[in-house]
Amino acid sequence: MYPVRTCLPQADNCPLSRRQSARHRRYKQPSSNLPHIRTDRPRPACACPRRIENPRPIRHGSESHVIVFPAHQPICIRLCARPPVRVLPAMPKIAVFSAQPYDRRFLSEANERHFAGYGFELHYHVFPLTEETAALAGGCEAVCAFVNDKISAKVLEALHAGGTRAVLLRCAGFNNVDLGRADELGLFVARVAAYSPEAVAEYAVALMQTLNRKTHRAYMRVREGNFSLDGMLGFTMHGKTVGLVGTGKIGLATARILKGYGCRLVGYDPFEVAEFKDGLGGEYVGLEELLERADIVSLHCPLMGSTHHIINADTLARMKDGAMLVNSSRGALIDTKAAIQALKSRKLGALAIDVYEWESSLFYADRSLDIIDDDVFQRLMTFPNTLVSGHQGFFTVEALTEIAETTMRNMKCFVDGEECAGRLHARTKLVVGS
Protein backbone atom coordinates (compact mmCIF):
# COMPACT_ATOMS: atom_id res chain seq x y z
CA MET A 1 0.00 0.00 0.00
CA TYR A 2 2.79 2.43 0.98
CA PRO A 3 5.97 0.84 -0.39
CA VAL A 4 8.27 3.50 1.09
CA ARG A 5 9.76 4.17 4.45
CA THR A 6 10.91 7.33 6.09
CA CYS A 7 12.12 8.76 9.37
CA LEU A 8 11.30 11.59 11.73
CA PRO A 9 14.26 13.77 12.81
CA GLN A 10 17.12 11.82 14.27
CA ALA A 11 18.63 12.27 17.72
CA ASP A 12 22.11 13.62 18.18
CA ASN A 13 23.44 10.15 18.86
CA CYS A 14 22.09 8.67 15.65
CA PRO A 15 24.86 7.70 13.25
CA LEU A 16 22.92 9.20 10.36
CA SER A 17 21.63 12.23 12.16
CA ARG A 18 23.77 14.81 10.40
CA ARG A 19 23.04 13.52 6.93
CA GLN A 20 19.34 13.10 7.64
CA SER A 21 18.86 16.37 9.48
CA ALA A 22 19.83 18.14 6.28
CA ARG A 23 16.98 16.32 4.58
CA HIS A 24 14.57 17.11 7.38
CA ARG A 25 15.46 20.76 7.15
CA ARG A 26 14.45 20.58 3.53
CA TYR A 27 11.11 19.07 4.50
CA LYS A 28 10.35 22.08 6.67
CA GLN A 29 10.37 24.35 3.66
CA PRO A 30 6.96 25.43 2.37
CA SER A 31 7.77 23.73 -0.90
CA SER A 32 8.27 20.41 0.88
CA ASN A 33 6.32 17.53 -0.54
CA LEU A 34 6.04 15.96 2.94
CA PRO A 35 3.47 18.01 4.85
CA HIS A 36 2.71 15.09 7.15
CA ILE A 37 6.15 14.79 8.75
CA ARG A 38 6.42 16.82 11.96
CA THR A 39 9.98 18.01 11.67
CA ASP A 40 9.54 20.57 14.45
CA ARG A 41 9.44 17.96 17.25
CA PRO A 42 12.14 17.71 19.91
CA ARG A 43 14.62 15.07 18.87
CA PRO A 44 13.92 11.72 20.52
CA ALA A 45 16.64 9.29 21.60
CA CYS A 46 17.53 7.19 18.61
CA ALA A 47 19.95 4.57 17.51
CA CYS A 48 18.15 3.78 14.33
CA PRO A 49 20.25 3.05 11.28
CA ARG A 50 17.39 3.33 8.76
CA ARG A 51 17.67 5.69 5.85
CA ILE A 52 15.07 7.70 4.11
CA GLU A 53 14.17 6.18 0.78
CA ASN A 54 11.68 7.61 -1.65
CA PRO A 55 9.68 9.65 0.85
CA ARG A 56 6.30 10.79 -0.33
CA PRO A 57 3.36 12.62 1.18
CA ILE A 58 0.66 10.73 3.00
CA ARG A 59 -2.76 12.26 3.41
CA HIS A 60 -5.80 10.97 5.19
CA GLY A 61 -9.02 12.67 4.18
CA SER A 62 -8.33 16.35 3.75
CA GLU A 63 -5.78 16.66 6.59
CA SER A 64 -2.08 16.05 6.91
CA HIS A 65 -1.31 13.21 9.27
CA VAL A 66 1.43 11.48 11.14
CA ILE A 67 1.33 7.73 10.78
CA VAL A 68 2.74 5.66 13.61
CA PHE A 69 3.78 2.02 13.61
CA PRO A 70 4.53 1.02 17.18
CA ALA A 71 6.55 -2.06 16.24
CA HIS A 72 9.34 0.21 15.06
CA GLN A 73 11.72 2.65 16.67
CA PRO A 74 9.65 5.61 17.84
CA ILE A 75 11.30 7.92 15.40
CA CYS A 76 10.77 5.66 12.42
CA ILE A 77 7.76 5.44 10.22
CA ARG A 78 7.72 2.42 7.99
CA LEU A 79 5.16 2.83 5.29
CA CYS A 80 4.58 -0.67 4.09
CA ALA A 81 1.76 -2.95 3.01
CA ARG A 82 0.37 -3.15 6.54
CA PRO A 83 -2.34 -0.67 7.42
CA PRO A 84 -1.29 2.04 9.85
CA VAL A 85 -2.10 1.32 13.49
CA ARG A 86 -3.10 4.89 14.17
CA VAL A 87 -3.64 7.90 12.03
CA LEU A 88 -3.26 11.09 14.01
CA PRO A 89 -3.92 14.68 13.04
CA ALA A 90 -0.86 16.87 13.07
CA MET A 91 -2.18 18.91 16.06
CA PRO A 92 -3.55 16.31 18.51
CA LYS A 93 -6.19 17.72 20.84
CA ILE A 94 -6.55 16.76 24.49
CA ALA A 95 -9.81 17.45 26.36
CA VAL A 96 -8.93 18.00 30.01
CA PHE A 97 -11.86 17.30 32.33
CA SER A 98 -12.34 18.38 35.96
CA ALA A 99 -9.79 21.07 35.21
CA GLN A 100 -9.06 23.34 38.15
CA PRO A 101 -6.96 26.51 37.80
CA TYR A 102 -3.87 24.65 39.06
CA ASP A 103 -4.40 21.90 36.45
CA ARG A 104 -4.43 24.52 33.71
CA ARG A 105 -1.29 26.12 35.08
CA PHE A 106 0.81 22.98 35.48
CA LEU A 107 -0.38 21.15 32.33
CA SER A 108 0.03 24.22 30.13
CA GLU A 109 3.48 24.89 31.59
CA ALA A 110 4.58 21.28 31.00
CA ASN A 111 3.20 21.33 27.47
CA GLU A 112 4.92 24.58 26.57
CA ARG A 113 8.18 23.78 28.32
CA HIS A 114 8.75 20.19 27.17
CA PHE A 115 6.38 19.30 24.33
CA ALA A 116 6.02 22.52 22.34
CA GLY A 117 7.17 20.78 19.17
CA TYR A 118 4.26 18.36 19.30
CA GLY A 119 1.60 21.02 18.96
CA PHE A 120 -0.69 19.41 21.53
CA GLU A 121 -3.82 21.52 21.97
CA LEU A 122 -5.24 21.44 25.48
CA HIS A 123 -8.98 22.13 25.83
CA TYR A 124 -9.93 22.61 29.46
CA HIS A 125 -13.34 21.75 30.92
CA VAL A 126 -14.10 22.56 34.54
CA PHE A 127 -16.84 19.90 34.72
CA PRO A 128 -16.12 16.18 35.21
CA LEU A 129 -16.06 13.49 32.55
CA THR A 130 -19.39 11.65 32.64
CA GLU A 131 -21.76 9.98 30.21
CA GLU A 132 -23.35 13.40 29.66
CA THR A 133 -20.11 15.30 29.05
CA ALA A 134 -18.17 12.66 27.08
CA ALA A 135 -19.56 14.01 23.79
CA LEU A 136 -17.69 17.26 24.41
CA ALA A 137 -14.44 15.39 23.77
CA GLY A 138 -15.58 14.77 20.17
CA GLY A 139 -12.69 15.37 17.81
CA CYS A 140 -10.09 15.14 20.58
CA GLU A 141 -7.58 12.33 20.23
CA ALA A 142 -7.17 12.13 24.01
CA VAL A 143 -8.99 12.97 27.20
CA CYS A 144 -7.24 13.80 30.44
CA ALA A 145 -9.16 12.80 33.57
CA PHE A 146 -8.81 12.87 37.35
CA VAL A 147 -9.78 10.73 40.33
CA ASN A 148 -13.50 11.46 40.39
CA ASP A 149 -14.17 11.29 36.66
CA LYS A 150 -16.27 8.19 36.02
CA ILE A 151 -14.70 6.46 33.05
CA SER A 152 -17.24 3.67 32.75
CA ALA A 153 -17.84 1.39 29.75
CA LYS A 154 -20.51 3.80 28.44
CA VAL A 155 -18.20 6.79 28.77
CA LEU A 156 -15.43 4.90 26.96
CA GLU A 157 -17.82 3.90 24.18
CA ALA A 158 -18.97 7.51 23.78
CA LEU A 159 -15.38 8.72 23.70
CA HIS A 160 -14.43 6.08 21.15
CA ALA A 161 -17.40 7.00 18.96
CA GLY A 162 -16.23 10.63 19.05
CA GLY A 163 -12.76 9.69 17.81
CA THR A 164 -10.90 9.63 21.12
CA ARG A 165 -8.19 7.00 21.28
CA ALA A 166 -6.33 7.78 24.50
CA VAL A 167 -7.29 8.28 28.15
CA LEU A 168 -4.65 10.07 30.19
CA LEU A 169 -5.16 9.79 33.93
CA ARG A 170 -3.44 12.54 35.86
CA CYS A 171 -3.42 10.39 39.01
CA ALA A 172 -2.04 7.06 40.26
CA GLY A 173 -5.29 5.25 41.15
CA PHE A 174 -7.32 3.82 38.26
CA ASN A 175 -10.30 2.30 40.05
CA ASN A 176 -12.56 4.71 38.12
CA VAL A 177 -11.72 3.25 34.67
CA ASP A 178 -13.30 0.18 33.08
CA LEU A 179 -10.00 -1.16 31.77
CA GLY A 180 -11.60 -4.29 30.30
CA ARG A 181 -13.82 -2.22 28.01
CA ALA A 182 -10.93 0.13 27.21
CA ASP A 183 -8.88 -2.87 26.06
CA GLU A 184 -11.78 -4.15 23.94
CA LEU A 185 -12.08 -0.75 22.26
CA GLY A 186 -8.31 -0.60 21.72
CA LEU A 187 -7.99 2.56 23.77
CA PHE A 188 -4.64 3.63 25.16
CA VAL A 189 -5.02 4.26 28.91
CA ALA A 190 -2.11 5.55 30.98
CA ARG A 191 -1.74 6.86 34.51
CA VAL A 192 0.90 8.74 36.43
CA ALA A 193 2.17 5.74 38.35
CA ALA A 194 4.58 7.61 40.59
CA TYR A 195 4.68 11.26 41.49
CA SER A 196 6.28 12.37 44.67
CA PRO A 197 4.91 9.56 46.87
CA GLU A 198 6.51 11.55 49.67
CA ALA A 199 3.91 14.28 49.12
CA VAL A 200 1.07 11.89 50.04
CA ALA A 201 3.11 10.18 52.77
CA GLU A 202 3.95 13.51 54.42
CA TYR A 203 0.29 14.47 54.26
CA ALA A 204 -0.80 11.17 55.85
CA VAL A 205 1.58 11.83 58.74
CA ALA A 206 0.35 15.43 58.94
CA LEU A 207 -3.20 14.06 59.35
CA MET A 208 -2.03 11.71 62.13
CA GLN A 209 -0.27 14.45 64.01
CA THR A 210 -3.01 17.03 63.53
CA LEU A 211 -5.58 14.69 64.98
CA ASN A 212 -3.22 13.46 67.68
CA ARG A 213 -1.85 16.84 68.85
CA LYS A 214 -4.95 18.83 67.84
CA THR A 215 -3.08 21.57 66.07
CA HIS A 216 -6.24 22.47 64.12
CA ARG A 217 -8.01 23.20 67.42
CA ALA A 218 -5.00 25.01 68.87
CA TYR A 219 -4.94 27.35 65.88
CA MET A 220 -8.59 28.32 66.36
CA ARG A 221 -8.37 28.58 70.15
CA VAL A 222 -5.36 30.85 70.25
CA ARG A 223 -6.84 33.16 67.59
CA GLU A 224 -9.85 33.56 69.88
CA GLY A 225 -7.69 34.28 72.92
CA ASN A 226 -8.35 30.86 74.47
CA PHE A 227 -5.06 29.51 75.85
CA SER A 228 -6.57 26.62 77.80
CA LEU A 229 -4.98 23.21 77.18
CA ASP A 230 -8.02 21.30 78.35
CA GLY A 231 -9.02 18.79 75.65
CA MET A 232 -5.73 19.12 73.79
CA LEU A 233 -4.01 16.05 75.22
CA GLY A 234 -2.25 13.89 72.65
CA PHE A 235 0.18 10.95 72.71
CA THR A 236 3.87 10.64 71.88
CA MET A 237 4.38 8.94 68.52
CA HIS A 238 7.75 7.47 69.56
CA GLY A 239 7.29 3.81 70.45
CA LYS A 240 3.77 3.52 69.02
CA THR A 241 2.94 0.75 66.58
CA VAL A 242 1.75 1.89 63.17
CA GLY A 243 0.11 -0.60 60.80
CA LEU A 244 0.53 0.13 57.10
CA VAL A 245 -1.98 -1.58 54.82
CA GLY A 246 -0.08 -1.48 51.54
CA THR A 247 3.68 -0.98 51.41
CA GLY A 248 4.01 0.29 47.85
CA LYS A 249 5.52 3.65 47.01
CA ILE A 250 3.40 5.76 49.37
CA GLY A 251 3.26 3.13 52.12
CA LEU A 252 7.04 2.86 52.09
CA ALA A 253 7.53 6.64 52.07
CA THR A 254 5.18 6.82 55.09
CA ALA A 255 7.17 4.06 56.79
CA ARG A 256 10.41 6.01 56.30
CA ILE A 257 8.95 9.09 58.02
CA LEU A 258 7.47 7.05 60.86
CA LYS A 259 10.76 5.24 61.33
CA GLY A 260 12.24 8.68 62.02
CA TYR A 261 9.57 9.24 64.66
CA GLY A 262 10.71 6.03 66.38
CA CYS A 263 7.50 4.09 65.65
CA ARG A 264 7.27 0.31 65.40
CA LEU A 265 6.13 -0.67 61.93
CA VAL A 266 3.90 -3.56 60.95
CA GLY A 267 2.77 -4.01 57.37
CA TYR A 268 0.28 -5.99 55.37
CA ASP A 269 0.75 -6.37 51.63
CA PRO A 270 0.30 -9.40 49.36
CA PHE A 271 3.56 -8.32 47.68
CA GLU A 272 6.25 -7.85 50.32
CA VAL A 273 9.20 -5.54 49.67
CA ALA A 274 12.64 -6.02 51.16
CA GLU A 275 13.12 -2.36 52.12
CA PHE A 276 10.24 -2.48 54.57
CA LYS A 277 11.73 -5.44 56.44
CA ASP A 278 15.47 -4.99 56.01
CA GLY A 279 15.85 -1.24 55.60
CA LEU A 280 13.15 0.00 57.96
CA GLY A 281 12.90 -2.86 60.42
CA GLY A 282 9.22 -3.38 59.61
CA GLU A 283 7.43 -6.65 60.17
CA TYR A 284 4.99 -8.17 57.71
CA VAL A 285 1.94 -9.71 59.35
CA GLY A 286 -1.55 -10.73 58.29
CA LEU A 287 -4.24 -8.05 58.14
CA GLU A 288 -5.95 -9.33 61.29
CA GLU A 289 -2.75 -9.25 63.32
CA LEU A 290 -1.94 -5.77 62.01
CA LEU A 291 -5.33 -4.50 63.14
CA GLU A 292 -4.95 -6.10 66.55
CA ARG A 293 -1.46 -4.67 67.17
CA ALA A 294 -1.54 -1.19 65.64
CA ASP A 295 -2.15 2.03 67.57
CA ILE A 296 -2.54 3.74 64.21
CA VAL A 297 -3.72 2.03 61.03
CA SER A 298 -2.85 3.87 57.81
CA LEU A 299 -4.27 2.74 54.46
CA HIS A 300 -2.02 2.84 51.37
CA CYS A 301 -3.41 0.10 49.11
CA PRO A 302 -5.28 0.76 45.86
CA LEU A 303 -9.04 0.50 45.61
CA MET A 304 -10.01 -2.73 43.85
CA GLY A 305 -12.70 -5.35 44.21
CA SER A 306 -10.61 -7.11 46.84
CA THR A 307 -9.91 -3.96 48.88
CA HIS A 308 -13.36 -2.35 48.68
CA HIS A 309 -14.47 -1.87 52.32
CA ILE A 310 -11.32 -3.58 53.56
CA ILE A 311 -12.14 -1.64 56.73
CA ASN A 312 -15.66 -2.72 57.65
CA ALA A 313 -17.61 -3.61 60.79
CA ASP A 314 -15.66 -6.89 61.21
CA THR A 315 -12.20 -5.44 60.67
CA LEU A 316 -13.02 -2.39 62.82
CA ALA A 317 -13.99 -4.78 65.63
CA ARG A 318 -10.51 -6.32 65.39
CA MET A 319 -8.74 -2.98 65.90
CA LYS A 320 -7.29 -1.98 69.25
CA ASP A 321 -9.76 -0.04 71.39
CA GLY A 322 -9.26 3.68 70.82
CA ALA A 323 -6.90 3.22 67.83
CA MET A 324 -6.60 5.84 65.10
CA LEU A 325 -7.55 5.09 61.48
CA VAL A 326 -6.02 7.15 58.65
CA ASN A 327 -7.04 6.94 55.00
CA SER A 328 -5.15 8.91 52.36
CA SER A 329 -5.70 6.36 49.61
CA ARG A 330 -9.27 5.95 48.33
CA GLY A 331 -12.54 6.58 50.16
CA ALA A 332 -14.24 3.25 49.51
CA LEU A 333 -11.50 1.32 51.31
CA ILE A 334 -13.56 2.19 54.40
CA ASP A 335 -17.20 1.32 54.94
CA THR A 336 -18.00 4.82 56.15
CA LYS A 337 -21.25 3.90 57.86
CA ALA A 338 -19.43 1.17 59.82
CA ALA A 339 -16.74 3.70 60.79
CA ILE A 340 -19.44 6.05 62.08
CA GLN A 341 -20.84 3.25 64.25
CA ALA A 342 -17.32 2.53 65.56
CA LEU A 343 -16.85 6.22 66.40
CA LYS A 344 -20.23 6.35 68.14
CA SER A 345 -19.43 3.24 70.22
CA ARG A 346 -15.99 4.74 71.13
CA LYS A 347 -14.29 1.67 69.61
CA LEU A 348 -12.50 3.87 67.09
CA GLY A 349 -10.48 6.54 68.88
CA ALA A 350 -9.92 8.86 65.94
CA LEU A 351 -10.51 8.97 62.21
CA ALA A 352 -8.49 11.06 59.73
CA ILE A 353 -9.48 10.86 56.08
CA ASP A 354 -8.30 12.74 53.02
CA VAL A 355 -10.62 10.67 50.84
CA TYR A 356 -14.27 9.88 51.28
CA GLU A 357 -16.42 7.09 49.87
CA TRP A 358 -18.84 9.45 48.10
CA GLU A 359 -16.45 12.34 47.56
CA SER A 360 -17.16 12.71 43.84
CA SER A 361 -20.30 14.74 44.50
CA LEU A 362 -18.55 16.97 47.06
CA PHE A 363 -14.83 17.45 46.60
CA TYR A 364 -12.94 19.92 44.43
CA ALA A 365 -15.63 22.60 44.51
CA ASP A 366 -16.70 25.39 46.86
CA ARG A 367 -19.96 24.16 48.42
CA SER A 368 -19.93 26.54 51.36
CA LEU A 369 -23.23 28.10 50.24
CA ASP A 370 -24.87 24.79 49.31
CA ILE A 371 -27.16 22.60 51.36
CA ILE A 372 -25.19 19.37 51.56
CA ASP A 373 -27.52 16.41 51.10
CA ASP A 374 -25.01 13.75 52.08
CA ASP A 375 -26.13 12.83 55.61
CA VAL A 376 -23.29 10.34 56.11
CA PHE A 377 -20.73 13.06 55.42
CA GLN A 378 -22.57 15.50 57.66
CA ARG A 379 -22.64 12.96 60.50
CA LEU A 380 -18.90 12.47 60.12
CA MET A 381 -18.39 16.21 60.52
CA THR A 382 -20.04 16.18 63.95
CA PHE A 383 -17.35 14.06 65.63
CA PRO A 384 -14.67 15.99 67.50
CA ASN A 385 -12.17 13.17 66.89
CA THR A 386 -12.62 13.11 63.12
CA LEU A 387 -10.63 15.08 60.59
CA VAL A 388 -11.68 15.25 56.94
CA SER A 389 -9.82 16.96 54.11
CA GLY A 390 -10.78 17.15 50.45
CA HIS A 391 -8.35 14.76 48.71
CA GLN A 392 -5.32 16.99 48.78
CA GLY A 393 -2.55 14.56 49.69
CA PHE A 394 -1.01 15.01 46.23
CA PHE A 395 -1.24 18.79 46.32
CA THR A 396 2.34 20.05 46.29
CA VAL A 397 4.21 22.02 43.63
CA GLU A 398 6.59 19.10 43.12
CA ALA A 399 3.82 16.52 42.72
CA LEU A 400 1.74 18.71 40.36
CA THR A 401 4.81 19.35 38.21
CA GLU A 402 5.53 15.62 37.98
CA ILE A 403 1.89 14.78 37.30
CA ALA A 404 1.67 17.31 34.47
CA GLU A 405 4.97 16.32 32.88
CA THR A 406 4.24 12.59 33.07
CA THR A 407 0.71 13.09 31.69
CA MET A 408 2.09 14.97 28.69
CA ARG A 409 4.87 12.38 28.29
CA ASN A 410 2.21 9.65 28.22
CA MET A 411 0.52 11.56 25.41
CA LYS A 412 3.82 11.73 23.56
CA CYS A 413 4.24 7.95 23.98
CA PHE A 414 0.76 7.45 22.56
CA VAL A 415 1.44 9.67 19.56
CA ASP A 416 4.86 8.17 18.88
CA GLY A 417 3.75 4.60 19.57
CA GLU A 418 6.45 4.27 22.23
CA GLU A 419 6.56 1.98 25.22
CA CYS A 420 4.77 3.72 28.09
CA ALA A 421 5.60 2.85 31.70
CA GLY A 422 2.25 4.15 32.94
CA ARG A 423 0.14 2.22 30.41
CA LEU A 424 -2.75 0.29 31.93
CA HIS A 425 -4.53 -2.84 30.77
CA ALA A 426 -7.27 -4.91 32.36
CA ARG A 427 -4.60 -7.34 33.50
CA THR A 428 -2.84 -4.53 35.43
CA LYS A 429 -5.35 -5.14 38.19
CA LEU A 430 -4.02 -8.67 38.59
CA VAL A 431 -0.48 -7.38 38.88
CA VAL A 432 -1.17 -5.05 41.78
CA GLY A 433 -3.66 -7.04 43.76
CA SER A 434 -5.23 -10.33 44.56
Ligand X SMILES: NC(=O)c1ccc[n+]([C@@H]2O[C@H](COP(=O)([O-])OP(=O)(O)OC[C@H]3O[C@@H](n4cnc5c(N)ncnc54)[C@H](O)[C@@H]3O)[C@@H](O)[C@H]2O)c1
Query: Where on the chain is the footprint of ligand X (CB under 6 A)?
Result: 172-173, 197, 200, 245-251, 268-271, 300-303, 306-307, 328-330, 354-355, 391, 393-394, 432-434
**Minimum Å distance from CB 302 to ligand X?**
3
Q: How far apart are the first and last CA of the chain?
A: 46
332 with 308: CB under 8 angstroms?
Answer: yes
Work out the angle at residue 353's Cα, subtended by the Cα atoms of residues 350 and 354, and round it to the nearest 5 degrees: 155
Between helix 397-416 and helix 101-114 the angle, nearest 10°, is: 50
**Minimum Å distance from CB 179 to ligand X?**
14
| Closer to ligand X by Cβ: residue 159 or 424 | 424
* Candidate list 50, 65, 391, 409, residue with the active-site label: 391
| Closer to ligand X by Cβ: residue 247 or 336 | 247
DSSP string, 59-121: EETTEEEEEE-TTS-TTEEEE-SSPPSEEEESS-EEEE-S--HHHHHHHHHHHHHH-GGGTPE
Report the alpha-carbon distance of residue 262 to residue 239 in Å, rounded. 6
**Minimum Å distance from CB 341 to ligand X?**
23
* Candidate list 198, 359, 405, 418, residue with the active-site label: 359
Pairing of β 188-190 and β 241-245: unpaired
Three-class secondary structure assignment of 265-278? EEEECCCCCHHHHH
**For this structure, is 272 an active site residue?**
no
* Candidate list 165, 293, 330, 409, residue with the active-site label: 330
| Closer to ligand X by Cβ: residue 79 or 310 | 310
Report the alpha-carbon distance of residue 179 to residue 173 in Å, rounded. 12
Q: What is the dihedral of CA 296, 301, 306, 312, to 10 degrees?
A: 20
| Closer to ligand X by Cβ: residue 90 or 432 | 432
| Closer to ligand X by Cβ: residue 121 or 202 | 202
**For this structure, is 402 an active site residue?**
no
By beta-carbon distance, which residue lies closest to ligand X? 248
**For this structure, is 131 an active site residue?**
no
**Minimum Å distance from CB 340 to ligand X?**
21
**Minimum Å distance from CB 354 to ligand X?**
5
Catalytic residue set: 330, 359, 391
